[in-house]
Structure 1
Amino acid sequence: MLAAVRNLNRLEFVGETLRAALESVAVTAPEWLASWMPATWQEQYEARMDSYRLPSDENERMQLTWRIAADGYFLLNAAFAATAPGWLRQVPAICILRTVWLQQFQRTITDERQEVTWRGRDELPPSRARITSPYDPDSRSAVKRGSAWDGYKVHFSETCDPPESGRPHLITHVVTTDATVGDPLVVDEIHDRLEVKHLLPSEHLMDAGYISAELLLTAPSDRGVRVIGPVRPNTRRTVQAAGYGKTSFIIDWDTRQATCPNGATSRYWTEGLDNNQRPAIRIRFATETCAPCPARAQCTSSRRYGRQLTVRPQEQDAVLERVRAEQATEEWKAVYAIRSGVEGTIHQAVKATGARRTRYAGLRKTALAHVLAATALNLIRLDAWWTGQPLAPTRTSHLAKLDLAA
Structure 2
Amino acid sequence: MWVRDRLDGLWDDEDFVCRYPRDGRPGLSPAQPATVCVLQFLLNLSARQAAEAVRCRINFKYALAMELDDPGFHHSVLTDFRDRLSQDDRADQPLSLAMDRMRLAGLVKERGRQRTDSTQVLAAARELTRLELVLEAVRAALEEAATRAPEILDELVDAEWAVRYCRPVRLPSRSSHPVTRLKQAGTDARRLLERLPPHQRGPRAEALRQIMVQNFLLDTRGTLRPRTEKGGQPKGALRIISPYDREARRAIRGNTRWSGYLVHVTETCDADSRVNLITDIATTAPTRDTEALPGIHHRLRDRRLLPGQHLVDGGYVSIVLLDRSARDHQVQLIGTVKASGAWQRKEQTGFTRDDFTIDFDRRRVTCPNGQTSRNWIEAPAMAPYTAARFHPTQCNPCPDRPACTRGTSARTVNFLASRAPAHAHSPRPPTAFLKYLDSRSLSWECWWRQGK
TM-score by length of 1: 0.61
Deviations 1:258-303 (A, max 9, x none): 33223234466666688xx876555555566556655455444x36
Q: Which amino acid aligns with 2:203?
A: P
Alpha-carbon separation, structure 1, partners of 2:150 and 2:193: 16
Q: Could you tell me whether the CA contact under 8 Å between 1:3 and 1:151 is conserved in 2? A: yes
Residue in structure 1 matched with residue 312 of structure 2 by the alignment: 206
CA shift in 2, pair 1:25/1:167, >3 Å: same
How many pairs are equivalent? 299
Whether 2:200 is the aligned partner of 1:88: answer: yes
Q: Do residues 73 (structure 1) and 190 (structure 2) align?
A: yes
Map of 2:218 onto structure 1: 107
Say whether the 8 Å CA contact 1:213–1:316 is kept in structure 2. no
Are residues 234 and 72 of structure 1, via their aligned partners in 2, closer, same or farther at CA, if it must alter by over 3 Å? same
Matches within 5 A, 1:3-402: 3-30=123-150, 32-52=152-172, 55=175, 60-80=177-197, 88-89=200-201, 91-108=202-219, 114-121=222-229, 123-124=232-233, 130-145=239-254, 148-162=257-271, 165=272, 167-180=274-287, 182-236=288-342, 239=345, 241-242=348-349, 244-252=351-359, 257-266=364-373, 285=390, 289-290=394-395, 293=398, 295-300=400-405, 302=406, 304-311=408-415, 315=419
- Whole-Å Cα distance in 1 between the matches of residues 220 and 158 of structure 2? 22
Over the matched positions of the two proteins, sequence identity in percent amounts to 36
Contact 2:318 2:338 in 1 (8 A): no
Give distance in 1, aligned partners of 2:175 and 2:320.
53
Contact kept, 8 Å, 1:157 with 1:172, in 2: the verdict is yes
String of CA shifts for 1:99-151, please: whole Å, max 9, x gaps: 221232222476xxx31123343634577764332110112344444755432
Gaps of 5+ in 2: 1-119, 422-452
Shift of 1:18: 1.6
Judging changes above 3 Å, is the alpha-carbon distance between structure 1 residues 14 and 255 closer, same or farther for their aligned structure 2 residues?
A: farther
- Structure 1 distance, partners of 2:354, 2:393, is 23
The secondary structure found in structure 1 opposite 2:172 is helix
Using a 3 Å threshold, how does the CA distance of structure 1 residues 304 and 153 change in structure 2: closer, same or farther? same
**Structure with bigger gyration radius:** 2
Distance 1:73 1:227 in 2: 50
CA gap of 1:25–1:109, structure 2 versus 1, over 3 A, is farther
1:40-67 Cα shifts (integer Å, max 9, x gaps): 11222234444516535xxx32222211
Name structure 1 gaps, 5 residues minimum.
81-85, 318-406
Quick one: distance in 1 between partners of 2:418 and 2:370?
21
Shift of 1:74: 1.0
Alpha carbons of 1:299 and 1:235: their partners in 2 closer, same or farther (altered >3 Å)? farther
Q: Which amino acid aligns with 1:260?
A: C
TM-score, normalised by the number of residues in structure 2: 0.55
Structure 1 letter corresponding to 2:207:
I
SS at match of 1:8: coil
